[in-house]
Amino acid sequence: MPEENSDKTIFTLLEVLQSIQETLSTRYTGSFWVKAEMNKLNLYSYSGHCYPELVEKKDNKVIAQVKSTLWRDDYNYINSKFIRVLNEPLKDGIKILFQARIAFDPVYGLSLRILDIDPSYTLGDLEREKQETIRKLQEEGIFEKNKELSFPLLPSRIAVISVETSKGYADFLNIIENNSWNYRFFHFLFPSLLQGEKAVDGIKEQLERIRKVLSHFDVVAIIRGGGGDIGLSCYNDYLLAREIALFPIPVITGIGHATNETVTEMVSFVNAITPTKLAEFLIQRFHNFNVPVNKAEEIIADRALKIIGEEKSRFQSEIRTFQYTTANILLRSHNNIRELSATLHHESQNIFRDKKEKLIHFSERLTFRIAAYFTGKSVALDNLEKNLINMSPQNVLKRGYSITFLNGRAVKSISEVHESDTLKTILHEGIIESIVKSTDQSKTS
């Protein structure tokens, strides 16, 4: 009962809350269906009870929020229904249509007790968003844009968008780094959340970072560790799908589910159902290049050995033919040389004999001519000798001639002699020395 204190009526907190409890229980006697977003499931594994945080948003702002309870038996029933319909259990960040009853407790406050959840509503909400995104991309003519890019022959440089601790990311790295063919890949992680309301902005931000270093990569791989359709709602976001469709290099996805392909996967160049399959796809690209190369190498090696064998046999045959031919040529040449040698010897003897006879005749004629020549010369020499004797100085002096010398030289001209010169005149018998008194060039005998 309330207390009366002067002019005030005072209630205890419990009385106020019990009044609210009575009012709510009187006003809300049955259950009702509510749509909201389950921000967090808050499952306590030791008890099996859940205490979901339910919110309503407008323009990404929370405009209503309430706590709720989902008791263990109700959770097990609803969760099994979600797994059957959606292939995924109840989880954080999904929109739900749930049946609830208002509960108020003076200690724990107001909450909604969840009695049932309709999984078709959650799936339908995702499907509506998905179809709207597809319609917009198709109207803009960019739905197939990324698929139309040229895929690298050997996609070895990979920009990875994933969570560093993701099992899917670890599986992806294990496949590409430990492949038994020793194919080498360069990969760089651009970390981002991959589910929930923050995933869209995170992935877009990392795509923008990759654009700035685009020349260093061949492809972008978006890798998620697995899960069902509910956790993939972000991949139906129009802005994210548009960014991937218009990305300048191929985007490949391994988001990790087998049904209900998201728009992001549809517009990407290649989609694999798991990160492992995506890694195998990249390795297969290397196989597609390497296997024909190895086959060609084997064919070339085999053909080369065959050609070498054929050429070796042909070469041996050519050697034998060459040896046989050269032996025949040498034999014929040897015989020809012997015949030519005999002919040369015979002809040489004939030529020498003929030349010898001609030489003897020539020698005889030459001897005769030389003898005749020298006989004629002998007569001429005798006459020359007589002339030389007659012209000797002694005989000339005998005939009354004399020789005049000036300074030891015979005087040939009057111009050589001057007054007072001493002259020596040689006669046949004796020598006269005289001194020149005068000379007269005009007087000659």
Domain ranges of the chain: 3-126, 128-287, 396-435
- pLDDT score at 231: 62
Confidence of residue 259 (pLDDT cuts 50, 70, 90): low
Architecture of the domain spanning 128-287: 3-Layer(aba) Sandwich (3.40)
Confidence of residue 64 (pLDDT cuts 50, 70, 90): very high
Rg of the chain taking only CA atoms, in angstroms: 67
- pLDDT score at 257: 67
* pLDDT tens per residue, range 316-349: 888 888 888 888 888 888 888 888 888 887 877 7
Which SS3 state, helix, strand or coil, does residue 11 take? Answer: coil
Is pLDDT of 34 > 90?
A: yes
- pLDDT score at 228: 54
- pLDDT score at 226: 58
∠ CA 64-65-69, nearest 5°, is: 145
Tell me which amino acid residue 151 is: F
Segment 381-396 mean pLDDT: 71
* Summary mean pLDDT of the chain: 86
| Environment class of 242 (CB within 10 Å of its CB; exposed 0-12, middle 13-18, buried 19+) | buried
| Environment class of 28 (CB within 10 Å of its CB; exposed 0-12, middle 13-18, buried 19+) | middle
Segment 425-444 mean pLDDT: 80
List the beta bridge partners of residue 252. Answer: 221, 270
Are 183 and 286 in contact by the 8 Å Cβ rule? The answer is yes
Is pLDDT of 123 > 90?
A: no
Confidence of residue 18 (pLDDT cuts 50, 70, 90): confident
Helices marked H in 107-166: 119-140
Segment 189-195 mean pLDDT: 92
Residue that has been written with the tokens 């998201």 in this structure: 262
Q: Which is higher by pLDDT, 298 or 97? A: 97
Is pLDDT of 141 > 70?
A: yes
Gap between the Cα atoms of 78 and 176, Å rounded: 40
Output phi, psi for 108, to 5 deg: -95, -10
Are 404 and 410 in contact by the 8 Å Cβ rule? The answer is yes
| Environment class of 107 (CB within 10 Å of its CB; exposed 0-12, middle 13-18, buried 19+) | exposed
Give strand ranges (E) for 15-71. 32-40, 53-58, 61-69
- pLDDT score at 42: 93
- pLDDT score at 118: 93
Confidence of residue 251 (pLDDT cuts 50, 70, 90): very high
Segment 1-27 mean pLDDT: 82
Are 145 and 248 in contact by the 8 Å Cβ rule? The answer is no
Are 234 and 195 in contact by the 8 Å Cβ rule? The answer is yes
- pLDDT score at 175: 95
- pLDDT score at 161: 97
Q: Which is higher by pLDDT, 246 or 236? A: 246
List the beta bridge partners of residue 3. Answer: 10
Segment 22-38 mean pLDDT: 89
* pLDDT tens per residue, range 393-412: 777 777 777 888 888 888 88
DSSP string, 78-117: HHHHHHHHHSS---TTEEEEEEEEEEEETTTEEEEEEEEE
Gap between the Cα atoms of 367 and 356, Å rounded: 16
* Rounded alpha-carbon distances, angstroms, from residue 318 to 309, 311, 331, 358, 410: 14, 10, 19, 56, 97
- pLDDT score at 325: 86
List the beta bridge partners of residue 117. Answer: 98
- pLDDT score at 229: 54
Confidence of residue 90 (pLDDT cuts 50, 70, 90): confident
Q: Which is higher by pLDDT, 198 or 143? A: 143
* pTM, 2 dp: 0.53
| CATH code linked to domain 3-126 | 2.40.50.140
